[in-house]
Amino acid sequence: MTKNQVSITAAEQVNEERLLDLFLELAKINGPSTKEQLVADYLMKVLPELGFTLEFDEAHKNFDGEVGNLIAWREGTDSTIPPLFFSTHMDTVLPTEGLKPVIKDGVIYSDGTTILGADDRAALASYLEAIRALIESGVPHGPIEFILTVNEQPGLVGATYMDYSKAKSKTGYIFDSSGDVGQIILKGPYSSRIWMEVGGNAAHIALNAEEGNSAFLIAAEGLLNMKLGTIDEETIANIGVIEGGELTSIIPGAITVGGEVRSFSKEKLDKQLERMAKAMKDAADKNGGRVTVKFEKKYSGFDIPRDHILTKTVEKASNNIKVKPYLTETLGGADTNVLNENGLTCITLGNGFQNIHSFREFISVENLINTGRLTAALIEQWYENHKQA
């Protein structure tokens, strides 16, 4: 890009007031997980106006959702540039119906009666504004693709069932992290659930208690012998579900115990799952009970090199907009895990929302605006990197 081609960059063209208004408009569109049709309707109107062609897959048929994942494609001014995608999810963890936004001291909140939905309407609004800024600035660029998933919040479900044959690009970014803009997450975890069906003998506490063998007590002993929480610097484990029992007067004969393990190491994840299973099996054997264990994969880990073009591009683009980039890793999951597993190389970037999944959720106006500016800067820098190659 030369001075003769453009007089202003796309990042500089990002309109702060327009982006803020757009975010508030999107946040008010009610679209909890599996109920994203209203969000899709909005995008079906807006994206073609920005030069995108749209295609939906049928992922939602796997989980009784309203609409599938949306893949949107925009031709670039230079078709020799490899396409670049930006991804986020269309759903929020809870409804935003009746959202009343409050802006105080440069920070956007809800009024405390709903979530804000910054996770991840902040990214969606920023992507749309970045494209508007790109068009208005006239900067040259390659093809752009949006991969907008559904039903992300319950466990990356939409991305898991996505029809990846519809995606034309192979590399991209996902703004979906609580870190301030400039955060670059190169490494994400493997994750699996563990389900343990613990059995004893049901009996009435007053009529035949001697025949009872409490599944709760067996499970309690197993849990006390499990190491949970931080296992090592790469691995965490948790028990989050205990279900069972019939009546307060009945010694429970069967309960379900569910947990999760995350680790940067697949080997460590598998070993921790086996240790948890063994602790429960030992307790059942000791107390005349029984246990059936099932492992359920959630997603695979990813590890993007420091010298990858995606990493270099976002570091340079961040510096271009005077935001300090920093590399990190997270044990949190995102669509990034699933997309990487399915052949789309991508990095998670911070966009600064806080206290997500609660009525105390907020995002600073600065982080919102910087997400839009960095999105535009990434498109510009991606073009520059490939023109110089």
The structural domains of the chain, ordered by start, are 10-188+301-388 (3.40.630.10), 190-299 (3.30.70.360)
pLDDT score at 387? 86
| H/E element, 118 | helix 118-137
pLDDT score at 388? 82
Give the residue carrying structure tokens 């246990």: 291
20 Cβ partners below 8 Å, 6+ apart? 108, 365, 368, 369
68-87: b or e for each residue (b if 16 or more CB lie within 10 Å)?
A: bbbbbbbebeeeebebbbbb
Per-residue pLDDT of the chain (389 residues; tens, 9 = 90+): 444 444 689 999 999 999 999 999 999 999 999 999 999 999 999 999 999 999 999 999 999 999 999 999 999 999 999 999 999 999 999 999 999 999 999 999 999 999 999 999 999 999 999 999 999 999 999 999 999 999 999 999 999 999 999 999 999 999 999 999 999 999 999 999 999 999 999 999 999 999 999 999 999 999 999 999 999 999 999 999 999 999 999 999 999 999 999 999 999 999 999 999 999 999 999 999 999 999 999 999 999 999 999 999 999 999 999 999 999 999 999 999 999 999 999 999 999 999 999 999 999 999 999 999 999 999 999 999 998 86
pLDDT score at 389? 67
Active site residues: 91, 152
pLDDT score at 103? 97
Q: Give the pair of three-digit tokens for residue 24.
A: 């508030």
pLDDT score at 322? 97
Contact by Cβ (8 Å): 18, 25: no
